[in-house]
Chains A and B, each alone.
Chain A
Amino acid sequence: MSSNLYQDKIIALSKDLSNAGRLDKPDTTATLDNPLCGDRVTLDIKLKNNGISELSHHVRGCALCKASAALLATEGKAKTSEELMEMTVALENYFKEGKKLPEGWQTYEVFAPVKDHKSRYDCVLLPLKAAVEALS
């Protein structure tokens, strides 16, 4: 059932605004759209030693996209551009083929119910893709 998608953990994440908004003087910024549904994610990122030290998100989109951005703000800490790229591909394969998530990203298993909803993969992937773009 689709409503399984909306488990308490995902809803709670989607309402977690602790890192929502814009950063003062970010080192890098990216805005990414999903043209299919009109969702839009803007990320501001501060860097330290090649990795993310601070990330804020501004999401115009659904609960899945918001939850994914909120999770990235905490789980993305210290991650490098390569690691984010690897995770983006891995998360897609996790949804599509049930493959394992890389070391250090296990909290994304909260999105396991999304596996059954192809049209929603991009909702979760969009913030990660925006981070990859910001760091590239």
Chain B
Amino acid sequence: MTFDPLSLRNQFPIFRTNLDKPLFYLDNAASTQMPQTVIDAVTEYETHSRANVSRGVHRLAEAATENFEAARQTVARYIGATSPKEVIFTSGTTDAINLVAQTFGEQLEKGDEVVVTLAEHHSNWVPWYMLAKQKGIILKFLPVEDNGRLDLSKLDQVVTSKCRLIAATHCSNVTGAITDVSALVKAAKSVGAKVLLDGAQMVPHGPVDVGALGVDFYAFSGHKMYAPNGIGVLWGQQSLLETLPPYRGGGGMIRSVSLEGITYAPPPERFEAGTPPIAQAVGLKAAIEWIESIDLHEATKVSHSLMETLLTEMEAQKGLRIIGPVGVNDRLPVVSFTLRDAHPHDVSQILDSIGVAVRGGHHCAQPLMEAYEIDGCTRASFGLYNDYSDVQTLLNGIDKVRGIFS
């Protein structure tokens, strides 16, 4: 296999349509674009197989169910699940984490502790905060180092014998720092706690192996990995899922309902009340197959080289602060920065004027902003279709910002 970002870019209609100027899309950590093959898979399903799942015997219902379950199998393979039964479809990472907070969390007791890190997206913070308020659980916080990495030297202090769960991101959506999962797992196991990883940023860059990671829950979203939005995944260890109460009530998650009572379906259906996002699951399957068709080893070399160029140029600029680790090791191509005289929203707006799409603000990670004593930052995040032109145009844009605000 060879890897050529430009030929990949040609597979994405967004780069050809509706735009009055070229698009330098560097907002992939928020949402990636969709390749034609994913769009086609969704259209094909909606055109020829649309129906509700698991409830009908007619041809279309069978086809829809088949498609939906095939998607579950593809996800299971991509993340190294031992069985598709461990794959729960949700509406996204946020929904997946709330699911854990309300089922696993339901079993926690007053005084139990949950550890989150200061690098979390609000979606892996707020559900735990809400649970803490509801149930009198104590939240503990693992700090970050100045270089954007989790301060693992503090693990001993925050993970006590009362700890029931460590909820941490696999990769920060701000700093791009990849978490040393083994350290978290070791600390958790030593006190019998579980580990939930937020993989929203990690999975778009290639398959993960939940078994090898040694975690208990893993959450991610489709729209950040070239798939439609409205779908995400919670993976959980089967034996653990079986012990959990249901999440939402409704159709599809029961075995039987009568006046005497209700028997719930086994996982994963127990956690999938209501009509699931079927077309979105079909799209997710197509997106995974698309990612798997790429030489990710070569792709990583390219993204590292782009990131290295960008970081080197940035390090030489006065008044520019990189929010994240030095260098490209153990890091995804997510580069956040501040400029001394320009607010991130102004930076993003000026970059937009030359076709560069980045994100400015707190990135739903206000505790991290607070830790670094900044109001916000501007983030450039790379996908598989980015190339040197994106880096160069971004750097030109930063010059332009400096020209306006100096």
Contacts and interface: CB of A to CB of B under 8 A. Distances in A.
Interface of A: 1-3, 5-6, 11, 37-39, 60-64, 117, 120, 123
A64 B400 CA distance: 17
Nearest to B347: A62
Contacts, number: 46
13 contacts: A3-B353, A3-B400, A5-B349, A6-B346, A6-B404, A11-B404, A11-B405, A39-B345, A61-B343, A62-B343, A63-B405, A117-B349, A120-B345
A1 B353 contact: yes
Contacts of B346: 6, 62-64
B353 A2 contact: yes
Interface in B329-363: 342-346, 349-350, 352-353, 361-362
A2 B361 contact: no
A115 to B, nearest CB: 14
Given A11-B404, A60-B375, A63-B342, A37 B352 contact: no
Nearest to B366: A38
Contacts of B344: 62
Contact of A38 (B342, B349, B352, B376): B376
Contacts of B376: 37-38
Interface residues of B, number: 18
Contacts of B404: 3, 6, 11
A1 to B, nearest CB: 5
Given A3-B349, A6-B404, A37-B361, 11 more contacts: A2-B349, A2-B352, A3-B353, A5-B349, A11-B404, A38-B366, A38-B375, A61-B343, A61-B345, A62-B343, A120-B345
Interface in B103-120: none
Nearest to A6: B404
Contacts of A39: 345
Given A11-B404, A37-B361, A62 B345 contact: yes
Given A3-B404, A11-B404, A60-B375, A37 B353 contact: no
Best-surrounded residue of B349, B350, B400 (most CB of chain A within 10 A): B349
Contacts of B361: 37-38
A37 B346 CA distance: 12
Contacts of A2: 349-350, 352-353
